Structure 1
Amino acid sequence: MQQDSGASLESGRSTNSDHAFTKGDASMNSRSGQSAPDLCIDYDALLRMNPDFVCVLYIPALKLRYPVVYSKDNADYLHTTFEGKHNAAGAIFYDCTSPKDFRGENTYLFGHNMKNGSMFGTLKKFEKDAALCSSDPYIYIYTKDHVRTYRIFSYYETVDGSASYDDFSGTAGYDQYVAYCLKNSRAALVDTAVESTAASADADKRSETQEKTNSTSEDGSIVRKRKTRSASESTIDFAERPQLLTLSTCSGRAGGNQRFVVHAALIGVE
């Protein structure tokens, strides 16, 4: 649901949690080679402010940076800020049904689509300006022990309850989910895609015009690597089934069931 109040940590409207951040030098991600900005986060201070604090989300392309909370009920932070104040903006929260500590195959983070651009109010900028994502397609998750680097591979409009929110398991389920995300994406963001045999029935018709390499996964589905229209080189190897991160916010009229989602794949941990 679109709302019209709330404060962003990057908007110039300072919050108490903003004082727990200082900017430092970039550090090199050990797996991807991608430099992860060092935010010099005071995790202890954030935990003192809110025991539900689990991580910091940072998307440089959108200048989006927030502490993320986890509770046993997703409704807890719909209208409660990180500082515990009642506010329509709420907080960015970790889906209570996702395995904790980013251990699941797909972790969901939710936030309001605020009209003033706070919370997830800027996510749809990716849709309006494709250059934002193509030039800086990274999402960073900071915890006390690790920094996780994700690369965005899909974003699009959907509806509540669509396949974007489906649980999946196994290689076939993973392949089908990623293929669905890529099919619906508003932009071609990566050079390689994972498709199951069922999800790519028309792929063979394009085989003469596409450069691809096929291999067989454990469950017999086809892992097809193919070129897309991306202008930048992808570092995502979907054949390894990297863990996914999905950001979700409301879209369209207030109270409607439209959603905007951003999908990213883990490319490094340090």
Structure 2
Amino acid sequence: MDFNISFKLSSNTIIISKMKKTVEQKNLNNTNVINLKELKFSCSYILENKELVSSFLNVTILKKNINTVVISSNDIADISLELVNTWEHIKKIIFKEDKEINMDIFLKLIDNHYIEEIELYSMSKYLIERLDVNKNLIVKTRSQIEKKSSFMIINSLNSFSDIYYKKYIIVSENDDLEDIRTFINLNDKLKTVKIMKYSNELLTTILDELISNKKKNIRIEIEEKNNDLKTIFNSVNYLKKVNKDYLEENNIAFKLNYSDAYKKKNLFKEINFKMFTTIIVFIMITAAVTLMLDYYAQFKDNETVEKELVDINKIIDDASSNNNLDENDRDIDYIDNREETITTTKKVGSSYSNAYYTNYKQVFNELMKKNDDTVGYLMVNNTKINYPVVQASTNSYYLNRDFNKRKNSMGWIFMDYRNNPTNLDKNTIIYGHNIKQGIMFGTLKYALNSSWYRKESNQIITFNTPTKNMKWRIFSIYKIPATEDYLKTEFANDDEYMNFVNMLKSRSLYDFNVKIDASSKILTLSTCFSHTTRHVVHAVLIEEEEIKNQE
């Protein structure tokens, strides 16, 4: 059945109504006969000329700065929304009829890309959720809830839309628990629940409903005033423990609101607690900053040492390049000091050449120009230990100085101040820090691995002085709690010396079956394995050669 529809302009609103009387059809091209305050068209004319009517009304909407449409009755909602959905400046639609919105009208609303708010009498929860989630619309309902409980009155829950969009509610143990369950079930925006008068049953009910309805990002506030804190603490802690996973994953939090009277009464305790917390935080921050500065300082110190090693290796390379070796002499085991893993390789023309084929007279001349404390040169096969050895008047000097005598936390490889570097003692002791980056004695720990110490070539250590090239064979390797009993340099007689040697052998984690007599000289390499443990390697002199001037 055909009927007529009027479009009446009022302020920032266009009102669409159904008319009972027939009206003369307007020719939209004849602007002299059109009353812009109220336009009237038949339903059939609109359907036949929908694009024309829509465009004409849209121009009027723009000129009058209209942003709201009022649809007087639901039975013209379909045809009205056909037009409204093309008007991008319309942000709000009001359905005046006190009648629930049906599925057909809902589907038309879903097609609209411009509106931000809808006011209507009622709509099912499911459809409101669809509009809210898919279109991000605000839906306001006018249908009043006839019977209201104290819970609904306190929270101003007068309509379904009030329930759906409410973000903050106040509850008490006297409230009807069924009302609270219904509210949580219908609501989709809740952020805060404030409990005025506490009871375990009330909190349990609220939490159960939040979990069963899969709610998230909600804070439950409990007022301290007129409530028993002990009961609250016990109950909350129990519920948090039982529901720990859900609460953490969905950000459900608890907060206790203390009254002014309580704060005043417990002010001193609170100040002490905050002060204690502040001190702890300050200590943690200070420790973190100190640690970062320490790491940075170690990084810079390590960088300095690496540059020194480049210079030292160049000295070795220059000394080695002056010697003509045949191919058999060039086959030796070495470890590249730039690699982290243990390797055994044949190297030709390297700075790791055998001591007997390096011009150590030239090496020591150059090294002593850089540091006149230089007393030797130490190499341990298949480690990164490949350093000049220095000696000071005390053992503490080179603990925090590099080869160039500059302050450096990495220290350097040094000989015990008690030892005679020219005419070696019975026990010559060399120290170095156990640096985790692998420099100094940081790779001496390789010697603890059976794959390392069972390899015969690794059992030979090279330690040379400015006057002699020497080879030493390892006879003992061990870890031991911090002690100084292996650091003796002088012995009253041969028996005391042999007892000392036998003690060192007995500690070894492997029997190297090396014979030592009273005339033997030994070399001791010592480093800190930890703050309370030492890692020690002992070797006996097996071969030596006077260094001649090779020019």
Q: Partner of 2:314 in structure 1? A: 19
Structure 2 counterpart SS, 1:114: coil
What is the letter of the counterpart of residue 268 of structure 1?
A: E
Matched, 1:85 2:85: no
Is the CA contact (8 Å cut-off) linking 1:158 and 1:164 kept in structure 2?
Answer: no
Q: Indicate how the Cα distance of structure 1 residues 150 and 86 shifts in structure 2: closer, same or farther if over 3 A, else same.
A: same
Structure with more strand by fraction: 1
Which one of the candidate residues 134, 146, 152 is aligned to 2:468? 146
Structure 1 counterpart SS, 2:447: helix
Matched, 1:263 2:538: yes
Structure 1 counterpart SS, 2:357: coil
Matched, 1:186 2:495: no
Q: Indicate how the Cα distance of structure 1 residues 248 and 8 shifts in structure 2: closer, same or farther if over 3 A, else same.
A: farther
Structure 1 counterpart SS, 2:470: strand
Query: RMSD over aligned Cα, in angstroms?
Result: 2.8
How does the TM-score come out when normalised to structure 1?
0.70
Q: Distance in 1 between the 2:359 and 2:303 partners?
A: 19
Deviation of residue 16 (structure 1)?
2.6
Matched, 1:135 2:413: no
Q: Indicate how the Cα distance of structure 1 residues 259 and 127 shifts in structure 2: closer, same or farther if over 3 A, else same.
A: same
Which one of the candidate residues 38, 50, 70 is aligned to 2:357? 38
Structure 1 counterpart SS, 2:396: helix
Deviation of residue 239 (structure 1)?
2.8
Q: Indicate how the Cα distance of structure 1 residues 37 and 89 shifts in structure 2: closer, same or farther if over 3 A, else same.
A: farther
What is the letter of the counterpart of residue 165 of structure 1?
A: L
How many residues were matched structurally?
213
Q: Distance in 1 between the 2:428 and 2:357 partners?
A: 23
What is the letter of the counterpart of residue 150 of structure 1?
A: W
What is the letter of the counterpart of residue 262 of structure 1?
A: V
Q: Distance in 1 between the 2:429 and 2:398 partners?
A: 14
What is the letter of the counterpart of residue 56 of structure 1?
A: Y
Q: Distance in 1 between the 2:425 and 2:385 partners?
A: 24
Q: Distance in 1 between the 2:304 and 2:461 partners?
A: 16
Is the CA contact (8 Å cut-off) linking 2:522 and 2:541 kept in structure 1?
Answer: yes
Deviates further, 66-75 or 127-136: 127-136
What is the letter of the counterpart of residue 77 of structure 1?
A: Y
What is the letter of the counterpart of residue 98 of structure 1?
A: N
Is the CA contact (8 Å cut-off) linking 1:9 and 1:66 kept in structure 2?
Answer: no
What is the letter of the counterpart of residue 316 of structure 2?
A: F
Q: Partner of 1:155 in structure 2? A: 477
Q: Distance in 1 between the 2:307 and 2:368 partners?
A: 23
How does the TM-score come out when normalised to structure 2?
0.36
Q: Unaligned regions of 5+ residues in structure 2, if any?
A: 1-294, 331-353, 546-551
Which structure has the bigger radius of gyration?
A: 2
Structure 2 counterpart SS, 1:151: strand
Is the CA contact (8 Å cut-off) linking 2:384 and 2:438 kept in structure 1?
Answer: no
The structure whose RCO (Cα within 8 Å, separation 6+) is larger is 1
Is the CA contact (8 Å cut-off) linking 2:399 and 2:409 kept in structure 1?
Answer: yes
Q: Unaligned regions of 5+ residues in structure 1, if any?
A: 28-34, 191-235
Q: Distance in 2 between the 1:133 and 1:141 partners?
A: 21
Q: Aligned residues: percent identity?
A: 27
Structure 1 counterpart SS, 2:313: helix
Deviation of residue 258 (structure 1)?
1.4
Q: C-alpha deviations, 1:211-260, integer Å up to 9, x for none? A: xxxxxxxxxxxxxxxxxxxxxxxxx44135310100000012xxx23111
Deviation of residue 58 (structure 1)?
1.1
Matched, 1:58 2:379: yes
Deviation of residue 74 (structure 1)?
1.1
